[in-house]
Amino acid sequence: MQLSTVLNGVLLPALAAVLWQYGHLRRRAESAEAEAQRARESPLLAPADYDAAIRELHADGTTAVCTGKVHTDRICRFQHLCYWAPADEFLFFHGPGSVALPSLGARRFQPALLDLSTVDDHNTQYFNVVDLPVSSLDRLPRPAFLSDTALIFNRFNPENLMHVLHDDLLPAFYTLKQFGELSWNYTRLVLTEGWSEGPYFELYRLLTGRQPLLRGELSSLGDLLCYPRAYVGLNKLPTWYQYGFTQPQGPKPNLLVSGNEIRHFATFIRTQLNVSEPHTYSVNGGTSEPYIVLIRRTLNRLILNEAELILAIAQEFDARLLAISLDSHPFREIVRIVSGASALVSMHGSQLALAVFLPPGAAVVEIFPYAVNPTHYTPYRTLASLPGMVLSYIAWRNERIEDTVTHPDRPWDEGGITHLSAAVQERIERSVEVPLHLCCRHPEWLYRIYQDTRVDITSFLATMRQVIPDKLTAPTPVPVTPVFPSRVRVPRCKSVVDPKSADAHIMVTWQPPWNLDFLPPQEVQYEVWIQEEGENTYSPYILSALNHTFVENIHPGTSYHVWIRCLLGPSLQGPFADALTCYT
């Protein structure tokens, strides 16, 4: 066979086939990469995917499936949710494939489908959809499609760091975790409250690999913008504070978050900000020295003798004191500094939300102006006290009227009161404590909270001493989350009646919880409750052995219920085993 024959007859066709397949595979790989690149640049769906998306929208309409029985506890996953910019409304296209849970009946207007922010049931934060038949698409402009999965919510107050961290970032972080589909690379926050970027926008940027979209930007993508996949709403479980819209402000009831989840979030933010090592001070290049941070306010609610206070604290604790403010350093640097601090000192205010970045073992010292009761305003006290947060907290309150400077002539929302009647002004000025009140326009509260304060050094240092030992200590290691004992095993009860005396006993036995073997040695006790059937009260016993014979108040011919649980160390109560019933 001639070479040319081999070439033409066998090799070249084989080569051609291989080349074609190779080219095909390469083109596929390349086009996938090019597409990924385009997707990185534009928030809109790649043209290649457009036809399929619009076909699906026309064929199916919109779909929504939500968690939660009530609007305050609800997050919805939508397919083909659309936004109509000219009317500033979200649209639900009713088509043959549309489903909605909850169903889109009239109840969704009483008052809303869900809350767009973690602040409960606030009428500026309601989300709803406008219904349209899917046939309306023929009379609307061609929709644009967002390529990424959207997480849609309202920032509650993007200008206030406490609100930014507590209401938005922390909940959004956990909402992203909760829905595995919301992966970092393919999720875009859509912030719908309508504000501009605001001073903390860079923090919202950290949550996913995509630039967040603001409501004001949506119209630039097209009059009709559709989200193939969108989650609407936030997980409220990580929040710890309610701001007093329906009852005076305070910790949320039944807190479901611990310091561990806050710290995990703080670590994520640090990582995203590229803060690998906390700030340290070292003496002559040696080991790092503990330091205290004072966060200054620069516009209002001032500490009037700040320089004096700084010197006094530094001297008292023989420590370096760093005075910073939210605008003195880039946020990254602020996080770095707070992350290494042994204590944080500040006037009451949103800058204290930085305490989420404090290392375990640090102290928070919060200053309150005259006539403001620290126990009524506890966002930072509550934070510091969360189990596993391991921060000590103390409040100092200005008790001397001569050390306060009021601002009656300022606008009402900076504490001015001259717009009020003379009688009301006089009452406010004479009051020695702001009474409990609702958010957000209580004149006496605003008047008092916007006072400037001269801090009484002696009294302040004495207060600070209560949470800071003689010598500042370095941060303690991150605590591990507590490991609770599981249920006691093989719980049994047996009744014995002495035939002579007719005395009755109940003997209860059990085995230690299964997971005890894996835990470090610590004190183990058992709590046993015994209750006579039909009675409302029970008798609790704390025991160390694995059995107990009950003799007191045990009568023959009676049924008794018995519950047993394990107690580990000073505070960990395990679950009760199933109730036993024993008849004497």
Please give the residues from 217 up to 276 whose contact with a copy of itself meets the rule CB under 8 A. 229, 235-238, 254, 256-258, 260-261, 264
Block residue for tokens 């036995």: 509
- Minimum CB–partner distance for residue 385 and a copy of itself (Å): 13
Between 204 and 563, whose beta carbon lies closer to a copy of itself?
A: 563
Closest residue by Cα to residue 475 from 341, 328, 286, 352: 341
Near a copy of itself by CB under 8 A, which window of 175-183, 324-332, 347-355, 447-455?
A: 175-183
User: Looking at residue 146, what DSSP letter applies?
Assistant: B
- Minimum CB–partner distance for residue 176 and a copy of itself (Å): 9
Chain positions 508 to 567 lying near a copy of itself, rule: CB under 8 A, are: 514-515, 518-519
Alpha-carbon torsion angle 350, 352, 358, 364, nearest 10: -160
- Minimum CB–partner distance for residue 560 and a copy of itself (Å): 20
Chain positions 18 to 47 lying near a copy of itself, rule: CB under 8 A, are: 18-19, 21-22, 25-26, 29
256, amino acid identity: L
Q: Are 259 and 390 in contact (CB under 8 A)?
A: yes
Between 472 and 577, whose beta carbon lies closer to a copy of itself?
A: 577
By the rule CB under 8 A, 100 interacts with a copy of itself: yes
- Minimum CB–partner distance for residue 575 and a copy of itself (Å): 4
Between 56 and 197, whose beta carbon lies closer to a copy of itself?
A: 56
Give the separation between CA 380 and CA 161, rounded to whole angstroms. Answer: 12
560, amino acid identity: Y
Near a copy of itself by CB under 8 A, which window of 89-97, 407-415, 423-431, 495-503?
A: 89-97
Give the separation between CA 447 and CA 416, rounded to whole angstroms. Answer: 6
Between 181 and 202, whose beta carbon lies closer to a copy of itself?
A: 181
Among residues 8, 31, 42, 136, the one that binds a copy of itself under rule CB under 8 A: 136
Among residues 35, 49, 56, 73, the one that binds a copy of itself under rule CB under 8 A: 73
Give the separation between CA 575 and CA 242, rounded to whole angstroms. Answer: 30
Between 26 and 427, whose beta carbon lies closer to a copy of itself?
A: 26
Between 82 and 449, whose beta carbon lies closer to a copy of itself?
A: 82
Beta strand segments in 288-400, E: 288-289, 291-296, 320-325, 343-347, 363-368, 392-397
Q: With contacts defined by CB under 8 A, how many residues of the chain interact with a copy of itself?
A: 80
User: Which tokens belong to 441?
Assistant: 């326009």
Q: What CA–CA distances, in Å, run from 379 to 29, 369, 385, 441?
A: 52, 16, 10, 19
Give the separation between CA 297 and CA 198, rounded to whole angstroms. Answer: 18
Near a copy of itself by CB under 8 A, which window of 123-131, 191-199, 205-213, 374-382?
A: 123-131
User: Which tokens belong to 424?
Assistant: 């009301």
Among residues 38, 68, 198, 410, the one that binds a copy of itself under rule CB under 8 A: 68
User: Which tokens belong to 436?
Assistant: 């409990």
User: Which tokens belong to 107?
Assistant: 């109840």
Between 182 and 275, whose beta carbon lies closer to a copy of itself?
A: 182
- Minimum CB–partner distance for residue 361 and a copy of itself (Å): 18
Between 375 and 511, whose beta carbon lies closer to a copy of itself?
A: 511
Measured between alpha carbons, how far apart are the two ends of the chain, in Å? Answer: 104
Q: Are strands 547-550 and 504-511 parallel, antiparallel or unpaired?
A: antiparallel
Alpha-carbon dihedral sign for residues 453, 459, 462, 466: negative
CB environment 472-500: b (16+ within 10 A), e (fewer): beebeebeeeeeebbbbeebebebeeeee
Between 140 and 507, whose beta carbon lies closer to a copy of itself?
A: 140
Q: Are strands 343-347 and 291-296 parallel, antiparallel or unpaired?
A: parallel
Chain positions 422 to 481 lying near a copy of itself, rule: CB under 8 A, are: 478, 480-481
User: Looking at residue 286, what DSSP letter applies?
Assistant: S
Between 4 and 501, whose beta carbon lies closer to a copy of itself?
A: 4
Length, in residues, of the chain:
584
Block residue for tokens 């009568």: 555
Alpha-carbon dihedral sign for residues 100, 104, 105, 109: positive
- Minimum CB–partner distance for residue 237 and a copy of itself (Å): 4
Near a copy of itself by CB under 8 A, which window of 92-100, 150-158, 300-308, 553-561?
A: 92-100
Chain positions 309 to 368 lying near a copy of itself, rule: CB under 8 A, are: none
Alpha-carbon dihedral sign for residues 80, 83, 84, 87: positive
Between 436 and 519, whose beta carbon lies closer to a copy of itself?
A: 519
- Minimum CB–partner distance for residue 418 and a copy of itself (Å): 24
Between 180 and 557, whose beta carbon lies closer to a copy of itself?
A: 180
Cross-strand bridge partners of residue 397: 368
Among residues 44, 53, 57, 66, the one that binds a copy of itself under rule CB under 8 A: 66
- Minimum CB–partner distance for residue 34 and a copy of itself (Å): 17
* φ, ψ (nearest 5 deg) of residue 221: -90, -5
By the rule CB under 8 A, 166 interacts with a copy of itself: no
Which DSSP helix (H) or strand (E) runs through 28? Answer: helix 12-41
Alpha-carbon dihedral sign for residues 208, 214, 220, 225: positive
Peptide bond into 493 cis (omega under 30): no
Chain positions 374 to 413 lying near a copy of itself, rule: CB under 8 A, are: 387-388
By the rule CB under 8 A, 104 interacts with a copy of itself: yes
Among residues 35, 50, 178, 509, the one that binds a copy of itself under rule CB under 8 A: 178
User: Which tokens belong to 266?
Assistant: 């703080």
Q: Are 172 and 207 in contact (CB under 8 A)?
A: yes
Chain positions 179 to 208 lying near a copy of itself, rule: CB under 8 A, are: 179-181
Between 63 and 350, whose beta carbon lies closer to a copy of itself?
A: 63
- Minimum CB–partner distance for residue 320 and a copy of itself (Å): 30
Between 47 and 180, whose beta carbon lies closer to a copy of itself?
A: 180
Between 67 and 459, whose beta carbon lies closer to a copy of itself?
A: 67
- Minimum CB–partner distance for residue 522 and a copy of itself (Å): 12
